[in-house]
Structure 1
Amino acid sequence: MNSRFELFSTEILYEIFDYLSTYDIFHAFINLNYR
């Protein structure tokens, strides 16, 4: 099952992540694989 996140192009993701700090990105994805 694909998520909507996978449908974004790489360039769009780079633009989004440019606005976030490393800390924010880390905490956004840290619990992604936990169930």
Structure 2
Amino acid sequence: MKNKTMHQLMSVQKLKSYDIQNDIKNKYYAYIFRH
């Protein structure tokens, strides 16, 4: 049970960091295309 919870937490963390990376990428490209 504990392992499952840990696994879910890890997955959420991964998703969050993935979202953040995508966000940064999008801002970066938006910045490039504007200039």
TM-score (norm 1): 0.31
Instruction: Answer 1 or 2: which has greater helix percent.
Output: 2
TM-score (norm 2): 0.31
- Tell me which structure has the larger Cα radius of gyration: 2
